[in-house]
């Protein structure tokens, strides 16, 4: 452990150096030689511990510790003083002092306090080493790869809630949504025919399958609304995957109030489906 002594009394510096050396408490890497404290000189010597007098000319011990710790808060500081005022002692601790050594200098107290600081430094280093090892292990752990099928699973979940999962056009709908999602293409940018052409060799057949699947979904949602207007699936999707006006028309058709059902909008459905998939956790 490297120790620096900041003290304006050369006799005390000599006493402290003698105790440190004879008791094998560490290496004295420097002292101020009775002159005013020079923080830059202290830092240059890279001490683990600084012994600093409370009362010194130019800059007192509390000011010195405060400034030193503001630059390097890992350096431990022991204050040497005859101060008994609780207010001054509290001020010193708040500045960053770790322990006190009372004057006149006592070999047993100096040895005990410095050994306490040494144990504190060793404990902190051990904790830091463990923390570093732990962080290294975390960094070396294989990163979880994002689930390539995650987006498709969200789409399937929604289509299943609407009762469309068994429809032949469902895989086609998922294929188009994945293509638009992957390439960040807004639904409004392409026509239905263009969407199908991007992902199928038989775009017209694909469009027909999709239209039939969405029509089945509309019918399912309409039946849910007739049975229970507050049905959770009905309230969630009747106005997002479909036009609510068209759902009402479909409901009237099922009730026999109209001779025709709601009109299917493929673009409206795909746009709503993608928005709902983005909302899914």
The pLDDT value given to residue 271: 93
Q: Where in the chain is the domain with CATH 3.40.50.2300?
A: 2-140
CA distance 54 to 88: 10
CA distance 51 to 13: 10
Tell me the β-bridge partners of 80.
53, 101
pLDDT at 159 over 90: yes
> What band does 128 get if pLDDT is binned at 50, 70 and 90?
confident
Give the strand order in the sheet containing 49-53.
27-31, 2-6, 49-53, 76-81, 99-102
CB 18 within 8 A of CB 27: no
Question: For the domain with range 2-140, which CATH number is right: 3.40.50.880, 3.40.50.300, 3.40.50.2300, 3.40.309.10?
Answer: 3.40.50.2300
Q: List C-alpha distances in Å: 203 to 65, 93, 132, 217.
A: 78, 78, 57, 21
- pLDDT one-digit tens code per residue, 229-248: 888 899 889 989 999 899 99
Work out the average pLDDT over 98-119: 89
Full-model pTM:
0.50
The pLDDT value given to residue 239: 87
Give the DSSP per-residue string, 68-111: HHHH-TTSEEEEEE----HHHHHHHHHHT--EEEESSP-HHHHH
pLDDT at 204 over 80: yes
pLDDT at 60 over 90: no
The pLDDT value given to residue 165: 87
């Amino acid at each position: 452990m490297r120790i620096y002594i900041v003290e304006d009394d050369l006799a005390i510096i000599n006493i402290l150096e003698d105790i440190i050396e004879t008791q094998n408490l560490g290496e004295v890497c420097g002292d101020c030689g009775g002159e005013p404290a020079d923080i830059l000189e202290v830092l240059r010597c890279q001490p683990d511990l600084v012994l600093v007098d409370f009362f010194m000319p130019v800059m007192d011990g509390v000011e010195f510790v405060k400034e030193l710790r503001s630059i390097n808060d890992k350096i431990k500081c022991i204050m040497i003083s005859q101060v008994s005022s609780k207010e001054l002692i509290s001020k010193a601790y708040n500045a960053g002092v770790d322990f006190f050594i009372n004057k006149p200098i006592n070999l047993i107290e100096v040895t005990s306090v410095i050994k306490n600081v040494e144990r504190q430094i060793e404990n902190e280093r051990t904790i830091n080493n463990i923390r570093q090892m732990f962080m290294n292990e975390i960094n070396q752990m294989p990163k979880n790869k994002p689930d390539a099928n995650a987006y498709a699973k969200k789409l399937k979940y929604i289509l299943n809630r609407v009762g469309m999962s068994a429809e032949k056009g469902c895989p086609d709908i998922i294929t188009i949504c994945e293509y638009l999602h992957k390439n960040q293409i807004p639904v409004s940018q392409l026509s239905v025919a263009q969407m199908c052409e991007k992902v199928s060799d038989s775009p017209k057949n694909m469009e027909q399958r999709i239209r039939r699947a969405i029509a089945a979904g509309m019918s399912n949602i309409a039946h849910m609304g007739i049975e229970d207007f507050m049905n959770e699936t009905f309230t969630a999707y009747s106005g997002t995957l479909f036009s609510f006006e068209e759902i009402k028309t479909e409901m009237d058709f099922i009730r026999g109030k109209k001779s025709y059902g709601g009109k299917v909008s493929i673009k409206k459905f795909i746009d709503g489906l993608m928005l709902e998939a983005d909302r899914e956790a």
